[in-house]
Structure 1
Amino acid sequence: MKRSRVVLPFMGRWLALLLGIVATLWSVAARAETRLQVDSLCHAVTDRQQPDEILASLRFACDGTPAGYQQGSLWLRVNLDRLPVGPRDVVLMVHQSRFDRLAVAFSYSDGTVAWRQVRGGDFHGHWRPGGQIEFEAPGRAARLTAVTMRYDGLAAHGLLNMRLLSPDESGMQSAGLAVAIGAALTLLLISGLYNLSLAHALRRQYLAWQGGWAMCMLAWGAVWSQIHLLVLPGMAGTLSAQTATFLSCLAIALATISAVTALGRDTLPAWLRLGTLGLGISIGIIGVPASLMRGVGLQQLGTILGVATLADLLAVAICLGVAWRRGCAEARDFALAWSLPMITLALIHLVDVENAFWGGGSKVPVLFAAAWQTIWLSVATTRSLASLRLERDRARMAAAQAGELARRDPLTGLRNRRGFVETAGPMLDHAGTTRTPIALLLIDIDRFKAINDVYGHEAGDMVLTAIARRIERWEGAMCTAARLGGEEFALLIAGLEGFALARFAESVRQEIAACDHRDAIGDRCVTASIGVAATSTPSDFRQLYRLADEALYEAKRSGRDRVASRRFPDDQLSLPDVAGPTQSPPRQSKGC
């Protein structure tokens, strides 16, 4: 709930900003332009084999609805004397639709007719961003009286969207659409690649579907806006329109699959999950005949697709609601991401906005809603991934700490037997490889049982802790210390041999004897016996420990408080077999 309270105001601010931008664009787009409705234009239908010059003898009907033009030519005429447009500087903007050829005639008061034309696969320089074609009237001294459009092989006149505006307004709108569409496509590209990379790294199926949806929307946006004509000019016209129709249906199917697969099988009833998936996939399948169809059935099929899309949005919304109530975290992220696209798609199916947004129509808000959705999901996925990584790092740290604690003696803090053996292995391997001498010192506190019996186990623990602090002083890169159990300690040291090793072992014995235990046992002296095993040849811990243990028992049998050593068969050590104290060790007045 805490994160939802933070996320919702953030989304609300972005939504308010987006609506403000949309309102500004809409208000600017409404200035200095005249929209042409097909039903209000005069029309005529001829055989498509007729030449353009037949325009002078055509009889136009200014009422009724044109019909029977799919295999022929549909002529649409607008008289400018009835419209509030300039007499000379006029630009005709036609939203790209499914036709084989479009010829535009600009008629002037002196009887001159100037023709401009495009055809499928060749729009020349007339195409503009936002799926539009621009025809600018040639500048002449005579007054422009009419504009006539001839469509050869038009699929459906209900798909036409035409406007008259000034050249300055046309340039501004084209530049604005180019910037807006370019920004939306760039965001889709980045987010799509990011989701696909996350899907590959995390092996998450829904991220792959989400990345595929983003790339599909990217392709749809490029084809619808005609930006792809920069590299594929031969796709101009019907082929682009058919491709855009198919991609839009495919995008709905991919978005539905992405949302449902993200929710998990245990968060949705099987019938709801399968029904929503089936509805989304059906829309993708219907996109195939919808993209190929040309004729009177196209608009009817478009209506069916619109109803199916609304039903799909409702089904996905129900899935998200059910999963959210069942505690699915992905449902919350998808609901917030899908909110704006759902509202947008619902509105464009319920409200006619095809003449808005500088001629871009409903495709412009859909493109921005798609960019919003994929960015939101990318951010949500990144946030979840960061949270998972943080939890993983904490778990690893806790495991490492637990592992370290398992290798430490809880009383003294020194390594226990397990930790000592694990540390000794690499040291022995390195010493054997580099032929470095290495020695194991086993240290046993003399008559420690008597201390526990007389002074109690708490005093005994204090003695062990004091000795451990003294032994810990030798801990370093070349030496490791441990409490193997009870009153037995150990030191494994590398780099010492012969006389130097003997001096070191003796100094250890003296330092232990010098510890001050007055707080625990008064003036009683505590000594230790030490067994030393050294080698400069490759050996394992068991061999070294066995020899050191034999040496320790020898020191015990020889009277305690002394150092004894054992040789490996191939080593020539200068250590004496048994070395006792040469003088009484000095007593310290304070601590160890």
Structure 2
Amino acid sequence: MVRESVVLRLFRKILIVWCAIVSLGAGAFGGPAPAFADVLRVGRPLCYAVSRTVAKDGGSPLVFLCAGQPEGYQKGTLWFRAMLPLGADRRDDLSLIVHSSRFDRLLVTFSYADRAVERQDVRSGDFGTHWRAGGQLAFRAPHRDVPLTGVTIRFDKVASAHLLRMRLVGRGEESTQTAGLAALIGAALVLLLAGAIYNASLALALRRQFSAWQAAWAICMVAWGACWSQLHLLFLPAMAGAVSAQICTFLSCLAIPLATLSAITALEERYVSRWLRRATLWLTAGVFVLGIPLSLMRSGPIDTLGGVLSVVVLANLVAVAFCIGQAWRRGSSDARSYAGAWAVPMLVLASTSFFDADAMFWGGGSQILVLFAAAWQTLWLSAAASRSHGRLRAERDMARRAEGQAQELARRDALTGLLNRRGFIERIGTVLDTSRDRGEAVALLLIDVDWFKSINDAYGHEAGDVVLAAIARCIAHHECPSCIVARLGGEEFAVMVAGLDGAELMRFAEGLRQQVRDCEHGDLIDNRNVTVSIGIAETITGADFRALYRLADEALYEAKRNGRDRVVIRPPDAANPCTDDLDQVAVGL
């Protein structure tokens, strides 16, 4: 209960931070932008022109349209022009931020009031120093003494104009936003990577299919986040542009089936209807199948296919929600964990449909929200898996303890608490082997209560049991690793002791006999003294237990014949060593 409350408090803190981030994004980062940090769209203040073939360098159209949407540009050239009011750059030098997409070439031209122009360009596979974290390209207008009047942006063979996002920001703002966006991306990727490693370790340790799918999904999201944010260009600069965009599309279409499979495999079949499970898997397969051509396309109906894919993805998410809801209603505990994990991603995807997220989080937009929603889902499911694993581990430990206690009880005498015959035989093997290796003497003491039948006959079997329990208490405190005490049955006890021989062994046995004699049993048997006879067999030649038991039994009967209440010791029988296995002793006993 304590651990669970700690986890719940942790999730509450994460939720508060999440809400704060969303609030900041919707307010500080998503609110109206000043003139020098405007999002460029067609008609405000962006105009466009189209050439159905790739235009020659230096060429520029004479007519730009400021209404409608550009068409027929995928195999040609698409121009955008943004005219700026005079003095727009007096606050700071401006930077153009372009969120990269699939194109062959991008040329940016800055125009000044004195008719001077400055050109900067990048090509697919070579972004130079213009790439920034968050899938962005930055073009800084050189500072001059005359105002900047306009910006012309030329794309050659761009795949989709609808996927382009462009902003004008101050140069100082650009540096700050780039650093902040990189920090957000890094935090999300670290959380996802930690979740991937943790779930992979759970999959290996517990052999759980759900954890394996969850780890694969988290790894896929890490790869997508690194590719989308262009962090991979630190190591693979040649992947800049169209190749990275195509890989991102494929990874995003792969991540959704992996997430769906992790949810479906976590819910037991008895909690989800077969038709609902199959429908969800078919929708998941549809997402993956549609994602393959979309990731390969450089031209054609990309926007149309993307719209169809969005509908299928939404239907897939709804189907997963129904699976979780049905399993929850039928009593699945895993469904509750998945409900908390999937709630945030679904809310994020739904919320981006109601407000424009392009300008949020310093241009990171909905991709940042998706990254943090994925990190939330990974953390939530990792914690849920940890709780489930902890619960299973606690149940397993309790079962093992109960099994150990049952096994120990099976080796103990119920009346006296001493080892019984079975437990004694199992324990003496260690003492014999250790003493044989060390060359120590080993002795077996058989202890038999004198005239015990007369006690039962005179005072009843209940009084006899009390006497046996009292005798057991007298000799039990001698039990240690080198001294094993047991009740073999009836009124017969046994002590196996190592490291004592000769006079020391005799003093030890006499001490036991005297302790039993001095034991008081009270009025239960009319203050009658109870005595024992002890037979001892010792060896230093490595004889086995059966040989010791035979010699000790002979010594015990000799003590009985000589008047009882005495100790008789039988010297080692070195002339006839026995080689019987310890496992055969149980038959002899």
* TM-score normalised to structure 2 length: 0.91
1:503 to 500, 503, 507: 507
2:503 pairs with 1:487: no
Counterpart for residue 24 of structure 1: 24
Deviation at 1:277, TM superposition (A): 2.0
Distance 2:508 2:109 in 1: 108
Q: Is the counterpart of residue 269 in structure 1 residue 273 in structure 2?
A: yes
Aligned partners of 2:438, 2:368: CA distance in 1, in Å? 72
Q: Note if 1:252 corresponds to 2:256.
A: yes
Q: 1:138 Cα shift? A: 1.0
Spell out the pairing of 1:139-158 with structure 2 (5 A cutoff): 139-158=143-162
1:28-67 Cα shifts (integer Å, max 9, x gaps): 3344321111355322223655333223x63323333322
CA distance 1:349–1:284, change in 2 (3 Å): farther
Contact 1:43-1:66 at 8 Å conserved across structures? yes
Q: 2:414 is matched by which residue type in structure 1?
A: P
* Aligned partner letter, 2:280: T
Matched, 1:176 2:164: no
Q: Which amino acid aligns with 1:43?
A: Y
Q: What per-residue deviation string (whole Å, max 9, x for no partner) do you get for residues 334-356 of structure 1? A: 11111101111233345442343
Shift in Å at residue 332 of structure 1? 1.3
The answer for the alignment partner of 1:312 in structure 2 is 316
Q: How large is the RMSD of aligned CA atoms in angstroms?
A: 2.5
Cα–Cα, structure 1 residues 19 and 508, in superposed 2: closer, same or farther, change >3 Å?
closer
Aligned-pair identity (%)? 54
Q: Deviations over 1:506-542 (max 9, x none)?
A: 3322332222223321232221122222211223322
What one-letter code is carried by the residue in structure 1 that aligns with 2:405? Answer: Q
CA contact (8 A) 2:317 2:346 kept: yes
Contact 1:433/1:538, CA 8 A, preserved across alignment: no
Distance 2:403 2:23 in 1: 56
Do residues 428 (structure 1) and 432 (structure 2) align? yes
Deviations 1:447-477 (A, max 9, x none): 1111111112232222212211211232223
Match of 1:587 in 2: none
| Cα 1:460/1:439, change in 2 over 3 Å | same
Amino acid at match of 1:44: A
Partner Cα separation in structure 2 for residue 327 and residue 2 of structure 1: 24
CA-to-partner distance for each residue in 1:252-309, whole Å, 9 max, x for gaps? 0100001111112232222222221222232122211111112341011111111111
- Contact kept in structure 1, 2:103 and 2:159, CA below 8 Å: yes
Residues 20-169 of structure 1 aligned to structure 2 (within 5 Å):
20-29=20-29, 30=31, 31-32=33-34, 33-38=37-42, 40=44, 41-46=46-51, 48-55=53-60, 58-81=62-85, 86=90, 89-169=93-173
Moved more, 506-515 or 125-134: 506-515
Aligned to 1:194: 198
Q: Which of 317, 331, 334 is the aligned partner of 1:330? A: 334
The number of aligned residues is: 572
Query: What is the 5 A alignment of 1:358-437?
Result: 358-437=362-441
CA contact (8 A) 1:161 1:355 kept: no
Cα 1:569–1:382, aligned 2, differ >3 Å: closer, same or farther?
Answer: same
Q: What do the CA deviations read for 1:540-587 (whole angstroms, capped 9, x no partner)?
A: 322322222232223223332223344453169xxxxxxxxxxxxxxx
AA in 2 matched with 1:516: E
| One-letter code aligned to 1:170 | E
User: For residues 502 and 323 of structure 2, what CA distance do their matches in structure 1 show?
Assistant: 79
Residues 506 and 414 (structure 1), Cα distance of their counterparts in 2 relative to 1, 3 Å cut:
same
Change over 3 Å in CA distance of 1:411–1:14 after alignment to 2: same
Alignment partner of 2:67: what SS? coil
How far apart are the structure 2 equivalents of 1:37 and 1:62?
Answer: 10
In structure 2, how many angstroms separate the alpha carbons of the residues matched to 1:472 and 1:384? 43
Say if 1:536 and 1:571, in contact at 8 Å, map to a contact too.
no
Instruction: Give me the whole-angstrom Cα distance separating, in 2, the residues matched to 1:12 and 1:472.
Output: 56
Distance 1:116 1:322, change over 3 A: same
> How many angstroms does 1:240 deviate by?
0.9
Residues 199 and 214, structure 2, Cα contact 8 Å, conserved in 1: yes
CA distance in structure 2 between the aligned counterparts of 1:524 and 1:13, rounded to whole angstroms = 74
Provide closer, same or farther for how the CA distance between residues 538 and 326 of structure 1 changes in structure 2, counting only shifts above 3 A: farther
Change (3 A) 1:141 1:274: same
Q: 2:357 & 2:273 partners in 1: Cα distance?
A: 37
> How far apart are 1:318 and its partner, in Å?
1.0
- 2:56 maps to a residue whose letter is P
3-state SS of paired residue (1:189) = helix
**Is the Cα–Cα contact under 8 Å of residues 344 and 365 in structure 1 kept in the other structure?**
yes
Does the CA contact (< 8 Å) of 1:88 and 1:137 recur in 2?
no
Cα deviations by residue, 1:117-140 (Å, 9 ceiling, x for unpaired)? 111011111111111111111111
Tell me what 1:446 maps to.
Answer: 450
> Which residue matches 2:582?
none
Aligned equivalent of 2:567: 563
Q: CA separation of 1:517/1:571 partners in 2, compared to 1, >3 Å: closer, same or farther?
A: farther
1:581 match: none
Q: Which is worse superposed, 210-219 or 353-362?
A: 353-362
CA distance in 2, matches of 1:461, 1:145: 110
Amino acid at match of 2:23: A
Gaps of 5+ in 2: 577-589
Separation in 1 of the partners of 2:537 and 2:530?
23
1:38–1:160: 8 Å Cα contact kept in structure 2?
no
1:480 counterpart letter in structure 2: I
Distance 1:361 1:82 in 2: 30
* C-alpha distance in 1 between matches for 2:445 and 2:299: 97
- Alpha-carbon distance in 2 for matches of 1:167, 1:286: 40
